[in-house]
Amino acid sequence: MRLQNTELMHVEAELRAPVASAQLVRFHFDKPINTLMQDDGNYRLDLCLTPRPQNARACYPNRWNPSRYERIGNLFVVPPGEAMIARSDDCGEQSSLVCQLAPEPMRKLFDTKLEWTDKRLLAGLDIRNANIQGLLLRLAQETKHPGFASEMLVELIGAQLAIELSRYCSDSGESNVAGGLSSWRLRIIDERLREVDSAPTLTELAELCRLSVRQLTRGFRASRGYSIGDYVAESRIEQAKRLLATEQSVKAIAYTLGFSSPSSFCYAFRRATGETPGQFRQSLLKAH
């Protein structure tokens, strides 16, 4: 996968194996992103380790209307043979684990060629599969601190990723999206969650969307494939990551985000990221 403006990308560590490669990458954006990612024959999985720039979104220009941009989540995949334009509304730095996965293992798992439908392309921009994320986090750890038989470990994780990604793609292709939310309702939800404020209640979101809570929860799951409660919780953690990059105290951040106490915030943050807020802040400081 080749990027325009490659001078904005710095590879901090790398491991390679025949089936997969892993890179710890730091991006520096001195202006809002507008980058074309061009295919080199592999799957590209990008798991952000620090918050993405605000309102990160993407378009597949060869497939979609040029004005159609969809939200990018913590983890996205760009399949072989595709070009993707990524955009954002702000600049700064962001770190990711970038995994290049050879297509052959996935081809063997399907009787026919995997078709990247519109539904699958959209699902690939925001992958919330715990198994895939867990494998990539293990890959990031090994890339940062390689040990005995690192290449073999990358190969084994790459094979597991091929299986999990194949399952995810298969499920995305079969899921029923009837009854999903309209694009303007999804946009309103995303805009509300980008506000640095207490987490919205389901009642508030339902009122903004002019729906009942039941219609909202069912429609959101049909559109995105996961619950709106999980989405709100994850969005709050992402807001926390952004605020931890500032000078605000952990206590102030906890109450800003609507947690009942700093301890409940620390518990939720560690459960979601594997680090305490203090440890995450230290890792940000070391990276600069």
DSSP symbols for the chain:
-EESSGGGEEEEEEEE-SSEEEEEEEEEESS--EEEEE--SSEEEEEESSPPPTT-EEE-TTTS-TT--EE--SEEEE-TT--EEEE-S--EEEEEEEEEE-SHHHHHHSSSPPP--HHHHHHTTS---HHHHHHHHHHHHHHHS--TTHHHHHHHHHHHHHHHHHHHHHHHHH---TTPPPHHHHHHHHHHHTSSSSPPPHHHHHHHHTS-HHHHHHHHHHHHSS-HHHHHHHHHHHHHHHHHTSS--HHHHHHHTT-SSHHHHHHHHHHHHSS-HHHHHHHHHHH-
- Say if residue 7's pLDDT is above 50: no
119-135 confidence digits (pLDDT tens): 889 889 989 888 898 89
* 156 and 258 assigned to the same domain: no
* 135 and 247 assigned to the same domain: no
* 81 and 58 assigned to the same domain: yes
CATH of the domain at 114: 2.60.120.10
* 99 and 242 assigned to the same domain: no
* 187 and 248 assigned to the same domain: yes
% pLDDT > 90, the chain: 40
| Better-scored residue on pLDDT, 106 or 244 | 244
Q: Tokens for 154?
A: 């990358």
* 188 and 274 assigned to the same domain: yes
Domain limits at 192? 183-287
* 187 and 252 assigned to the same domain: yes
* 136 and 267 assigned to the same domain: no
* 31 and 144 assigned to the same domain: yes
**Domain finish residue from 143, 174, 205:** 174
**Domain finish residue from 174, 207, 230:** 174
Could you tell me the pLDDT band of residue 199, with boundaries at 50, 70 and 90? confident
- Say if residue 174's pLDDT is above 60: no
Q: Range with the lowest mean pLDDT among 94-103, 157-166, 196-205, 212-221?
A: 196-205
Q: What pLDDT does residue 269 have? A: 92
* 107 and 151 assigned to the same domain: yes
**Domain finish residue from 123, 143, 174:** 174
44-82 confidence digits (pLDDT tens): 999 998 888 888 999 999 999 988 999 898 899 999 989
Q: What pLDDT does residue 110 have? A: 65
Q: Range with the lowest mean pLDDT among 14-23, 100-109, 257-266?
A: 100-109
243-262 confidence digits (pLDDT tens): 888 888 999 999 888 888 99
Domains held by the chain: number: 2
* 188 and 62 assigned to the same domain: no
CATH of the domain at 218: 1.10.10.60
Mean pLDDT for the chain overall: 86
* 98 and 191 assigned to the same domain: no
